[in-house]
Amino acid sequence: MREMVNRHALIRRLASVETLGSVTTICTDKTGTLTQNQMTVTKLWVDGQFVDITGTGYEPVGSFFVNGEEITDLKQLPAARTALWVGTINNDAQLEPVGESEGRTTYRMVGDPTEGSILVAALKAGAAANVVNQNYPRKQEIPFDSARKRMVTIHNIVNPGHGDISPYVTDEKTNWFTIAVKGAPDVVLDLCTYRSGMDNTPIPLTPELRQEILDANDQMTSKALRVLGVAYRPVPEMPDEISADALEKDLIFVGLIGMIDPSRPEVKPALKEALTAGIRSVMITGDYPNTAKAIAEDIGLLRKGHQVLTGADVEHATEEEMREIVKITDVYARVSPEHKMKIVDALRDNGEVVAMTGDGVNDAPAIKRADIGIAMGITGTDVAKETADMVLTDDNYASIVSAVEQGRIIYSNIRKFVYYLVSCNIAEIMIIFLATIFGWNTPLAPIQLLWLNLVTDGAPALALGTEKGDPDIMQHPPRPSDEPIINKFMLKGIIVQTIAITATTLAAFLLGGGAFKGAPEEARVLSETFAFITLSLSELFRAYTARSEYFPLTKIGIFTNMNMNIAVLVSVALVIMVIYVPFLQTVFDTTALRWIHWVEILPLVLIPSIAAEVMKAITYKKNLARLASLED
């Protein structure tokens, strides 16, 4: 769990760690997960023309350009000022000054980055949000939700024209009210009857003008811009009914606000690593198809021959059609939370093990439906976090891949010490069993077995749990979710190790000369000591070979796990102490070995480790061939 937290993944359900190693598909949101979540307004479309805005991040420094020519006086662009005015008053974000840098005030954004970017653009135009809101105080609102894809606010016009960015520049409309709407361009456009001209004069919204707006939206989204539409309607008095039907009609469409959220630099290599690991990544976003496609192509998520689908397509598809659709779709755009569940269900019906990200309250059902539900730790709601199996503390897609890698390492380490302990303990059983069958003396006294298990099954086994993982841990396909921890490969290894350890220990027991009934007491004790030392050291040396199931010890290095070195050294010391400390010899029924005895038993001690390395060498060659085919 500590290692997971270090990789920005907080695991809420322990069993999820095992499932992480089996994940075959990651369904991820775009904003903040694949991108940096630092929106910057770079383009406006008003009255038939594009306005470019320079600057990045939350620093309110930038210029306005039309057709490459800088506009120094924004009075030349009244419609652009109106678009920023609507976006500023219909806004829940805040820009807070946090200090000074090179003589300029620096800000931090509190709230949604999309809304925050509009406040920055307005500040570039000379209008501070707090001043604008004082002169156009909000009286009522219909909050944004993912189903409606828009937000509505009502404002009193206290000081018209303040900041020189609003359309209210005459005293005639003082103390009027305005309805401001911001949301998905196509949704907002459907609510409008008029379009604002360059001088803010409303003109009827003809089908040709509607198509012009939609074409402009397509141009902006094709350049990976997230686009919002803004509209308003002045009214002489505060509306009596605060409902969508009453407020969202006869609006004046002002324009489009386009912003970009650059992809995270670490996402592209993370996507490549996931693909190498046999894990497919799917983008599910509320953005327009063009925007989603542009980002997906830029980061390498959209694969050749795969498609981009919209929420409307998902809505109308049957369950059978969805099972085929999800096989060739890498990007889902304009998706609602209920569509996410349909996508997850189709993927799971195809046998995929699905990880699903989410941050909102409405995402909770899809998060719960997935095999691994992942909530955003920064932008996620409490409901999403409570539902999730895992919480990302940095909201980063790369952390999901990193958590999958660590999940594989943890599961692999569990396999390693299960492999080690089971093979050693079965060998101990077979040693006693065969000696009894053959009618020999008992190779190990009960207290020797207890000491052996304490020494070899304790610290070395725990040290195996701290391994950093095989170098190719993310170059294997996901483990089948129904595969038992002791699979066929491990079973073969257990059989080989059981035979090797049993044979060498019994050989050492015979070598001592006291294996048979009636042997002199001195010979019997020496034989037991031979068996005890051979079994103990062979298991301790075997712990090194158990550090990887596939890679030879020469490839992973002897000194790369210091915990193992310390564990084995302490264990060897405890074993040696039992045969050389006089009062312990009596307790453990052992005798001190001379150097000639060590010469006889050390070759036997190394045989199990050599057998394990030979098995791995064969497997290693197969791994090299497989990796070469992956690179091709």
Question: Treating both helix axes as pointing N-terminal to C-terminal, what angle do 595-631 and 521-545 enclose, rounded to 10 degrees?
Answer: 20
For residue 350, being part of any structural domain is answered with yes
Residue with more model confidence, 606 or 96: 606
Q: Considering its fold, how many domains does the chain have in total?
A: 3
**165 band by pLDDT with thresholds 50, 70 and 90:** very low
80 with 211, same domain: the answer is yes
Tell me what pLDDT residue 168 has: 44
Range 265-287 average pLDDT: 93
Burial 57-82 (b: 16+ CB within 10 A, else e): ebbbebebebeeeeeeebeebbbbbb
369 with 442, same domain: the answer is no
pLDDT at 468 over 80: yes
CATH number, residue 608: 1.20.1110.10
- Tell me the H-state helices in 172-259: 185-190, 207-221, 244-247
Query: Do 24 and 352 touch, CB atoms closer than 8 A?
Result: yes
**6 band by pLDDT with thresholds 50, 70 and 90:** confident
pLDDT at 403 over 50: yes
321 with 378, same domain: the answer is yes
pLDDT per position as a tens digit, 37-50: 788 999 999 988 99
Q: Judge residue 130's burial from the number of C-beta atoms within 10 Å of its C-beta, 0-12 exposed, 13-18 middle, 19 or more buried.
A: exposed
Range 186-190 average pLDDT: 94
Q: Mean pLDDT score of the chain, rounded to an integer?
A: 89
pLDDT per position as a tens digit, 84-126: 999 999 999 988 888 777 777 777 888 888 899 999 999 998 8
For residue 400, being part of any structural domain is answered with no
28 with 59, same domain: the answer is no
Of 417, 608, 574, whose CA–CA distance to 506 is shortest? 608
* Element containing residue 193 per DSSP (H, E): strand 192-196
* Element containing residue 40 per DSSP (H, E): strand 40-46
* Tokens describing residue 417: 């010490």
**Residues above pLDDT 70, as percent of the chain:** 95
Parent domain of 219: 40-260
For residue 122, being part of any structural domain is answered with yes
What does the DSSP 8-state code read for residue 625?
Answer: H
Of 44, 136, 39, whose CA–CA distance to 81 is shortest? 44
Comparing 9-23, 308-322, 495-509, the range with the smallest average pLDDT is 9-23
300 with 279, same domain: the answer is yes
492 with 596, same domain: the answer is yes
- How large is the C-alpha radius of gyration of the chain? 35
The dihedral through the CA atoms of 377, 380, 385, 388 has a sign that is negative
Extended beta strands in 370-469, E state: 372-376, 390-392
- If one counts every other C-beta atom within 10 angstroms of the C-beta of residue 112, the result is 17
268 with 414, same domain: the answer is no
pLDDT at 166 over 60: no
Residue with more model confidence, 160 or 166: 160
CATH number, residue 57: 3.40.1110.10
Comparing 199-203, 371-375, 438-442, 511-515, the range with the smallest average pLDDT is 199-203
For residue 403, being part of any structural domain is answered with no
For residue 364, being part of any structural domain is answered with yes
As beta bridge partners, residue 358 has 375
Residue 448: CB partners within 8 Å, gap ≥ 6?
Answer: 528, 532, 588, 589, 590
Question: Treating both helix axes as pointing N-terminal to C-terminal, what angle do 397-438 and 267-276 enclose, rounded to 10 degrees?
Answer: 30
For residue 402, being part of any structural domain is answered with no
Range 198-222 average pLDDT: 90
Q: Judge residue 146's burial from the number of C-beta atoms within 10 Å of its C-beta, 0-12 exposed, 13-18 middle, 19 or more buried.
A: middle
Q: Judge residue 172's burial from the number of C-beta atoms within 10 Å of its C-beta, 0-12 exposed, 13-18 middle, 19 or more buried.
A: exposed
**145 band by pLDDT with thresholds 50, 70 and 90:** confident
C-alpha of 557 from chain center: 30
Q: HSE on the CB side for 272, CA within 13 Å?
A: 11
Domain termination site, one of 229, 260, 291: 260
Alpha-carbon distance 58 to 467, whole Å?
Answer: 43
pLDDT at 169 over 50: no
Residue 581: CB partners within 8 Å, gap ≥ 6?
Answer: none
Give the torsion through C-alpha atoms of 502, 506, 507, 509, to 10 deg: 150
CATH number, residue 329: 3.40.50.1000
26 with 55, same domain: the answer is no
245 with 278, same domain: the answer is no
C-alpha of 204 from chain center: 48
pTM: 0.76
Tell me what pLDDT residue 625 has: 61
208 with 164, same domain: the answer is yes
- Tell me the H-state helices in 71-140: 78-89, 113-124, 129-135
For residue 401, being part of any structural domain is answered with no
70 with 141, same domain: the answer is yes
Of 415, 300, 399, whose CA–CA distance to 355 is shortest? 399
pLDDT per position as a tens digit, 514-538: 999 989 999 999 999 999 999 999 9
Tell me what pLDDT residue 170 has: 44
For residue 16, being part of any structural domain is answered with yes
pLDDT at 194 over 90: yes
Catalytic residue IDs: 29
195 with 297, same domain: the answer is no
Give the torsion through C-alpha atoms of 95, 96, 100, 103, to 10 deg: 40
Domain termination site, one of 395, 427, 444: 395
Domain termination site, one of 231, 260, 289: 260
